[in-house]
Amino acid sequence: MRTIAWAGLSALLSILAAIVAPASAEDGYDLWLRYRPIEAAAAADYRMVATQLAPGGASPPIAAATAELRRGLTGLLGTTPEVSETAGAGALIYGTPAGSPQIAALDLDLGDLGREGYMIRSLRIDDRPVTVIAANSDVGVLYGAFALLRLVQTRQPIDRLDLRARPKLALRVLNHWDDLDRHVERGYAGQSIWDWHRLPDYRPELYTDYARANASIGVNGVVLNNVNANALSLTAPYVAKAAALAEVFRPYGIRVYLSARFSAPVEIGGLTTADPLDPDVQAWWRAKADEIYAAIPDFGGFLVKANSEGQPGPQDYHRTHAEGANLLADAVAPHGGVVMWRAFVYSDQAPDDRAKQAYTDFVPLDGRFRPNVAVQVKNGPIDFQPREPFHPIFGAMPATPLMMEVQITKEYLGFSTHLAYLGPLYEEVLQSDTMRPGAGATVARVIDGSADGHALSGMAGVANIGADRNWSGSHFDQANWYVFGRMAWDPEAARARPIAEEWVRMTFSNDDRFVEPVVDMMMGSREAVVDYMTPLGLHHLMATGHHYGPAPWVSDLARPEWNPTYYHQADADGIGFDRTAAGSDAVAQYAPQVGDRFSDLDAVPEPLLLWFHHLPWDYRMRSGKTLWEELVLTYDRGVSAVGEMRRTWAGLQPYVDPQRFDDVTVFLAIQDKEARWWRDASLAYFASRSGRSLPEGTTEPEHPLTYYQGLSYPFAPGN
Ligand code: GCU
């Protein structure tokens, strides 16, 4: 009886606690915009600088900036700054010269800030200390407000500021692979946050919070629907729903885009063809664009997946990707829209190495796209693997604006249960030098347009956001959303480590005893996944369809390049995909210095070894070990790294709220279990191919190979 009574009482208490203090629940909803009170001593100093808010005007972005500053400063400093038009000592004055006489009077040099940049300066006006956030647009001011809050959140001094920042990319875009039935392709955070059925009328606060989060990291575009598009999303009812979202996002500087199905003129337009050169088809797309722009005046444009994995496209009519892209580009051009045309293509007929096909299709079209087309290229030539070399297209289409597409969602890196911080993956690609003629053409400088003088530039991230309360399915996956935005702001200068640190401070704690170990853990986490899933350049070893778990043995799928055996080619003699001149010659798609380096066994980076080479099991690695021994060791290293992550996290309990501590603890345990599964299943299989036993002293797989081959997960998410 007593136990039951106590259980009842504690349940009641927790319900009461939830009602009394819902805002302080640490369920992850607040993301990096938590604004929890800072230490009393520091708060006093900050308060001197932010006692009063003096907004320049009342436009929606300025109102959003005011609301955010009030919310943030109140939370952080414990007092609500008053809003006043006249600025006293400690005032925060923000606006544009056009919207704020106070800013205009300062005669600041904003020339190099562009439309979205901002400056933050500590100044004295009439001998009173003030802080000024100035920009050329109200959205620039909003970005400045978030930047100022970030300084306080990460405990930077704000009394002598002289900061200038501007985004280096024009388009910083999330791609939602969300279907109209709320399923999210490769989504591991629940259903789609777009409640299509209840839109356009129902616009929960969630959508505003989504926009706030994106604006805080500089994301300025959102593709609402899956690249495997349903033509219905272009019909009037769905355009009205998209328009409702656009209205919510507009104050935050975010434009909406739609994925367009190339065959829409046939499917919803009543035409008999979608041929890009057909005048009726052209007229249909022009009318469709006019209709969309009437509902959404700042509509961003279209994203298109064409002639890829069964999607319709211009090649169905023997036209090129350029002709297809230009069709849509001409339709949106009068309205200032763009087309993001994906280069993720591989044919079901071409027998050539899949890694080569996008280049083969697209590079001959360089210079043939309209100026408002950006070709959107995945970071690597296969498909968002834990590690890939940079995509060769980045070094080969100087006359075409190229966007880079990365996955934020972790289709191939353990879904949302494995802790894998993707900052190092993004940085590795962005900093890769394409070695194109003309020095310094890193991928970052190709996509920011500076290598070739393109004004249209951008980066897209496949979103990891769903209806889960913590947005991303796990607390640490929020960091991947965050780092995407921060890197897209300035891909050349951005670095994974400081961004991780910033995120940890904002999301969890500023206590260095917490920050340092967590940042270290995050920085090593992606490499751990590479090690226990696809070490030494192996790739595409996961199970069919849902891609959950290891299945390097699969060899019976209809298309050769769907089979893991196609990628690793392991047999009794050796392992790896020969992409040198003796093999598929994919190396020839890179600039000669890069291709030579990848071809040369003494120069190729070992983490990419088996991507480019097929080698005997006894091949001597730089460590002196054989390839087989090194492979086993690397799998083991991945598994131990996860054990280390668990130990690190367990020691950090004093610095984390119980809810998030427990959530992360449980997921790390899942990761540990699955890392062992990857290691054991892969080694059991490769041992069977190589005919070798594991080196002495290593642990045998827990089960025989047939056990792993028998596992099946028909309902794994995201498929
Ligand atoms: C991957 C992914 C698909 C997706 C495709 C794409 O292959 O598994 O779900 O549609 O990429 O990027 O178009």
- In one letter, which amino acid is 59? S
Span from the CA of 466 to the centroid of ligand 1 (angstroms): 18
Residue with tokens 């300066």: 121
**Are 359 and 346 spatial neighbours (Cβ–Cβ below 8 Å)?**
no
Measured distance CA(12)–CA(16) in Å, rounded: 6
Measured distance CA(72)–CA(265) in Å, rounded: 48
Chain segment 183-213, per-residue pLDDT in tens: 999 999 999 999 999 999 999 999 999 999 9
Measured distance CA(80)–CA(76) in Å, rounded: 10
Is the torsion defined by CA of 48, 51, 54, 60 positive or negative? Answer: positive
**DSSP-derived pairing of the beta strands 301-304 and 255-259:** parallel
pTM for the whole structure: 0.96
The protein residue whose alpha carbon is closest to atom 1 in ligand 1 is: 383
Low-confidence ranges of the chain (pLDDT < 70): 1-24
Measured distance CA(676)–CA(706) in Å, rounded: 16
In the prediction, which pLDDT does 50 show? 81
Span from the CA of 414 to the centroid of ligand 1 (angstroms): 16
- The tokens describing 676, both together, are 């062992």
The protein residue whose alpha carbon is closest to atom 10 in ligand 1 is: 228
Span from the CA of 308 to the centroid of ligand 1 (angstroms): 9
Chain segment 561-610, per-residue pLDDT in tens: 999 999 999 999 999 999 999 999 999 999 999 999 999 999 999 999 99
Q: Indicate the SS3 state at residue 256.
A: strand
Q: What φ, ψ does residue 628 adopt, rounded to 5°? A: -60, -45
In the prediction, which pLDDT does 697 show? 95
Span from the CA of 178 to the centroid of ligand 1 (angstroms): 12
Measured distance CA(347)–CA(359) in Å, rounded: 12
Atom of ligand 1 lying closest to residue 186 CA: 9
Chain segment 504-519, per-residue pLDDT in tens: 999 999 999 999 999 9
Find, among 144, 64, 47, the residue nearest to 103 by Cα.
Answer: 144
In the prediction, which pLDDT does 685 show? 98
The DSSP code for 433 is B
Is the torsion defined by CA of 464, 466, 471, 472 positive or negative? Answer: negative
**Are 526 and 413 spatial neighbours (Cβ–Cβ below 8 Å)?**
yes
CB atoms within 10 A of CB 381: 27
The DSSP code for 233 is G
Which CA distances in Å does 507 have to 3, 424, 499, 510, 690? 37, 19, 12, 9, 46
CB atoms within 10 A of CB 286: 17
Residue 719 Cβ inside 6 Å of ligand 1? The answer reads no
Residue 186 Cβ inside 6 Å of ligand 1? The answer reads yes
- The tokens describing 111, both together, are 């020339």
Atom of ligand 1 lying closest to residue 227 CA: 13
Cis peptide leading into residue 200 (ω within 30°): yes
Measured distance CA(694)–CA(713) in Å, rounded: 28
3-state helix, strand, coil in the chain (%, to 5): 45, 10, 45
The protein residue whose alpha carbon is closest to atom 11 in ligand 1 is: 383
In the prediction, which pLDDT does 24 show? 56
Spatial CB neighbours of 3, under 8 Å, sequence gap ≥ 6:
none
Orientation of helix 60-77 relative to helix 205-216, angle to 10° = 80
Measured distance CA(153)–CA(35) in Å, rounded: 7
Measured distance CA(591)–CA(598) in Å, rounded: 11
| CA-based radius of gyration for the chain | 26
Find, among 426, 411, 447, the residue nearest to 497 by Cα.
Answer: 426
Q: What φ, ψ does residue 348 adopt, rounded to 5°? A: -85, 0
Q: How many Cα atoms are found within 13 Å in the side-chain-facing hemisphere of 143?
A: 29
Q: Which residues are catalytic?
A: 309, 383, 411
Find, among 289, 300, 288, the residue nearest to 250 by Cα.
Answer: 300
Q: Indicate the SS3 state at residue 346.
A: coil
Question: Per this entry, what is the length of the chain?
Answer: 719
CB atoms within 10 A of CB 182: 17
Query: What does the angle CA 339 – CA 448 – CA 432 come to, to the nearest 5 degrees?
Result: 115
Measured distance CA(123)–CA(151) in Å, rounded: 17
Measured distance CA(36)–CA(573) in Å, rounded: 59
Measured distance CA(504)–CA(63) in Å, rounded: 28
